[in-house]
Structure 1
Amino acid sequence: MTCCTASRASASASLHSRLSILRARFSLAIAALPPPSAMMTASTAACQPLWPLHAGAVRLVSPLDCKCYRRGHSMIIGKPALIIHEMQKFVVDPQYAGFPALANQVTERGIAKKISALADAFRKAGAPVFHTPARGRADRKDVKVNTLIAAMSMKGTPLPADHPAQAYVEGCEFHEGDFEIPRSSGMTAMVGTQLDTLMRRMGIETVVVTGVSVNVGVAGNVMVASELGYHVLVPDDCVAASDMETHRAIVDNQMRMIARVAQSEDVIAALAN
């Protein structure tokens, strides 16, 4: 018994000694580390986001730590396609628009002109341009009033297909070789249409989303395209909401988490390369 007790005591003392050594080494290692603020600065520098953030946006580091969100990596991965969403007169022309504030933002920020330049660059590069207009049935039998915006749309009179307000605004017209994917109900072009099927058939990997509105149709297209596995790119100067506060809130705090946000001139430069 005495021998066993002595052996156990010796083993316990040895274990405590080893633990003390490990604690000492751990303390030395911790002491050698830079302060947390310096570590965050280094981590942020290693993985800078590819777009500038608005002053009110929250900056996250680790979720962006993948090759397609590092500086220097091409913003266009594989074959790209351009989506021009709802750039129709009854949506964004002040003369016809049901949402005047949205139409005013599109006009004041020159959205159509910038989309036009971007679309021309896509055509020059041989990349497809998809127009995704809203064209409802006259009887609206396929519209389910399950959202506020659907209820609001039901108050107006349906526009005939040949009504001038159904046309695209200047700069966003359909060109020979473009694709047109209309929808009669819903908010996004990626659901209930052949858009996804066509893009997969054509080998599209990067989807560039433009048009309106940032908080409804554009946001929906960005979210669904991302969920379907596309790389999504949003030219900040080619999308609009009813006011800049809403625009900045959605782009800076939602879209940047699931898409790359850039300026149209950067996208045009990437296409040229």
Structure 2
Amino acid sequence: MSDSAASGPRPAGRAAILVIDMQHDFVDDDAPIACPGAQDIVPAIRRLCATARAAGLPVIYTRESHRRQRVDFGLELEYGETLHCVEGTRGIEIIDELAPEPDDYVLIKRRYSGFFATDLDLLLRGLGVDTLVLTGVATDVCVRATAQDGLQLDYRVIVAEDCVAGTSRARHDAALEHIGYVLGRVMPVAQVTALLGLDHPR
């Protein structure tokens, strides 16, 4: 997957790092929707974000959030998902190790995609961004949904494969294969920084 991802034109314009849903309800060992390996990707995401900030690239976080009355879950709970990311709970918070910095952006989302019913597209266009580097969880749910919507809105999509984790290893691998086939490019973070002309993370 990485070899094929390295081919093709270099992204033009400006990139942004998108940190998707690195919240306790997905990252903790006892999370209601635990993503195996989510804690292992934290150092790589931190280094990538630090490198991006140093280069003047925007870092944007999404945070899944649901009202306690459950009126904005849609059909998620009908299809087997456990109650998660409810306002007022610890589970909704971004983990301390990846806490946003003052100049970062944080978007609340109610559904899987970072674009659906949010102002992410408006923010990216205001920032002059045309290339998205996706990190976070879950590869097979919110990362994949955001990649698809990003492509449909004409953003170049890159997934840093060592900065994402899925709801299972099998679903993670299948999602990366699907994203690399038709939605964007999948590559290690070292290739991402090289592709974007950034220094390698320290």
TM-score if structure 2 supplies the norm length? 0.87
Distance 1:150 1:213 in 2: 19
- 2: CA distance between counterparts of 1:237 and 1:209? 11
1:268 Cα deviation from its structure 2 partner: 2.3
| C-alpha contact (below 8 Å) 2:133/2:158 kept by paired residues | yes
Distance 1:150 1:221 in 2: 21
Structure 2 unaligned spans of 5+: none
Alignment of 1:98 with 2:32, yes or no, is yes
Aligned residue identity for 1:99: I
Which residue number in structure 1 is paired with residue 65 of structure 2? 135
* Correspondence for 2:136: 211
* C-alpha distance in structure 1 between counterparts of 2:80 and 2:103, whole Å: 35
Question: Is 1:177 the equivalent of 2:103?
Answer: yes
Partners of 2:64 and 2:33 lie apart in 1 by 15
Q: 1:169 Cα deviation (Å)?
A: 1.9
Percent identity for Structure 1 against Structure 2: 24
- One-letter amino acid of the counterpart of residue 223, structure 1: Q
* Whole-Å separation in 2 of the counterparts to 1:137 and 1:89: 17
Number of aligned residues: 198
Matched, 1:264 2:199: no
Map 1:19-34 → 2, pairs under 5 A:
none
Structure 1 unmatched ranges of 5 or more: 1-49, 54-63
Contact 1:236–1:264 at 8 Å: present in 2 too? Answer: yes
Q: Are the counterparts in 1 of residues 68 and 86 from structure 2 also a CA contact under 8 Å? A: yes
> Which structure is higher in strand share?
2
- Helix, strand or coil: the match of 2:18? strand
Structure showing greater radius of gyration is: 1
Q: 1:158 to 1:189 in 2, by over 3 A?
A: closer
Hey, what's the Cα distance between the residues in 1 that align with 2:145 and 2:78? 15
Cα deviation for residue 237 of structure 1 reads 0.5
Cα offset, 1:81, TM superposition: 0.7
User: Which of 90, 94, 104 in structure 2 is aligned with 1:168?
Assistant: 94
Aligned AA for 2:180? M
Structure richer in helix, relative to its length: 1
Higher relative contact order (CA 8 A, sep 6+): 2
Paired residue type of 1:250: A
The answer to whether structure 1 residue 77 and structure 2 residue 2 are counterparts is no
Distance 1:176 1:256 in 2: 36
Give, in whole Å, the separation in 1 of the partners of 2:85 and 2:175: 30
Which residue identity lines up with residue 47 of structure 2 in the other structure? A
Contact 1:131–1:178 under 8 Å retained in 2 = yes
Provide the alpha-carbon RMSD of the alignment. 2.3
Q: Which amino acid is the alignment partner of residue 215 of structure 1?
A: D
Q: Report deviation, 1:93.
A: 1.1
SS of the aligned residue for 2:99 comes to coil
Alignment match, 2:2? 51
Q: Is 2:85–2:91's contact at 8 Å kept on the other side of the alignment?
A: no
Give yes or no for contact 1:112–1:169 (8 Å, CA) kept in 2.
Answer: no
What displacement does 1:140 show? 2.1
Cα offsets for 1:39-71 (capped at 9, x unmatched)? xxxxxxxxxxx8336xxxxxxxxxx9xxx952x
> Distance in 2 between the 1:138 and 1:271 partners?
44
Query: How far apart are the structure 1 equivalents of 2:19 and 2:65?
Result: 14
- Counterparts of 1:263 and 1:168, CA distance in 2: 23
2:33, 2:84 within 8 Å by CA — same for their partners in 1? Answer: no
Residue 143 of structure 1 contacts residue 150 of structure 1 at CA under 8 Å; is this kept in 2?
no
Q: Distance in 1 between matches of 2:84 and 2:132?
A: 33
Alignment of 1:192-207 (within 5 A): 192-207=117-132
Give the counterpart of 1:117 among 47, 51, 66.
Answer: 47
Structure 2 CA distance for partners of 1:216 and 1:69, relative to 1, 3 Å: same
